Structure 1
Amino acid sequence: MNSKSLVLASLVLTAAIAGCKPNPPAEPAAEAPKADAAIAAAPEPAPAPVAPALDAKAFAGTFSGTLPCADCPGIDTRVELKADGTYAIEETYQERKDGNSKSDGTWTAEEAGQRVRLDPNSKSEDDRLYQVVSADEIRALDKEGKAIDSQANLSLKRQPAAQ
């Protein structure tokens, strides 16, 4: 036999041997629909409860306190959240001449009422974010809306309504 015949004979023999191997048993066709039926019959998980949105009119009010300052004893801060969705903020940097500033803009509740965003009318100012701790307290957050890692008091407390 020449080499071509030998190669051809080897291929035929290999194919014949491979054809003699038993095929693995096929899974019964009836089992697959049962698994699908079991999945379909499983109850879907209940949607997570959604926290009620913050009622702007009910939450509106004045919050004040002294926030930390990098180069002064503190910043006396007063934020008035108005029921119409606008705000006014007054800040006084302690022990500084001309340390008073005022700003205004709009405020919105975010994260299902867990956070308040102050959006200033002056676009040269950054938005400010506060965590809603309770109906009577908001706490300053960083620019990304994350808690500030500090031992300093970052809270502003609700002030009684003016009579």
Structure 2
Amino acid sequence: MKNKAILSGGVLAIFLLSCSPNEKKRELFSKPETDSVTVQKPMDSVTVDSVADGHNSQISLDWSGTYEAVLPCADCPGIKTSLTLNKDNTFMITEEYIDRKSINEDKGTFQWDKAGSIITLKGKLANYKYKVGENHLNQLDLEGKEITGPNKDFYIFKKK
């Protein structure tokens, strides 16, 4: 009985050793057989929003137009905001404080980020960032990150 256990252990060891590490490496690095083209970029130039086929918000979406939202306000019911983006990369923004007689208007230009998904307004007062989506804009915080928390949905501008 002891000999069978030793013999079984020896056969198992030979079987495990017969699997060459080179075969495993070949499997890991073999190219898949497809008709698609893979584009590789250096890691420092790749962003979460980039797409290998070159499509992004800037070139793929009908982003020009007017967007509206009612933003949270610390000492009023909200700020009714209207933002118009023009194809020539100019904008106009109107911020109306609800229940006050206060309206701010600004205009200027905006710039796209390298990935073509985020715009930054450059006006006299306005210096906001937005992630451009299909018929909506998501206002970003001052660092360019998505706003989180219970009020995050108030920072979504819908296209008119």
Change (3 A) 1:58 1:149: closer
Identity of aligned residues (%): 30
Q: CA deviation at 1:140?
A: 1.0
User: RMSD of the TM alignment (CA)?
Assistant: 2.7
- 2: distance between equivalents of 1:60 and 1:77? 16
Aligned residue number for residue 141 of structure 2: 142
Q: Which runs of 5+ in 2 are unaligned?
A: 1-28, 31-37, 42-51
For residue 142 of structure 1, give the secondary structure of its aligned residue in structure 2.
coil
Structure 2 counterparts to residues 69-148 of structure 1, below 5 A = 69-97=73-101, 99-120=102-123, 122=124, 125=125, 127-132=127-132, 134-148=133-147
TM-score, normalised via structure 1 length? 0.61
Question: Which amino acid in the other structure matches residue 135 of structure 2?
Answer: D
Question: Which amino acid in the other structure matches residue 141 of structure 2?
Answer: D
**What is the aligned residue count?**
115
Q: CA deviation at 1:113?
A: 2.4
TM-score, normalised via structure 2 length? 0.62
Q: CA deviation at 1:59?
A: 1.6
Change (3 A) 1:136 1:58: closer
Q: Which runs of 5+ in 1 are unaligned?
A: 1-41
Change (3 A) 1:89 1:71: same
Change (3 A) 1:73 1:55: same
Larger radius of gyration: 1
Change (3 A) 1:50 1:142: farther
Deviations 1:59-98 (A, max 9, x none): 211101111111111110000001111000001011112x
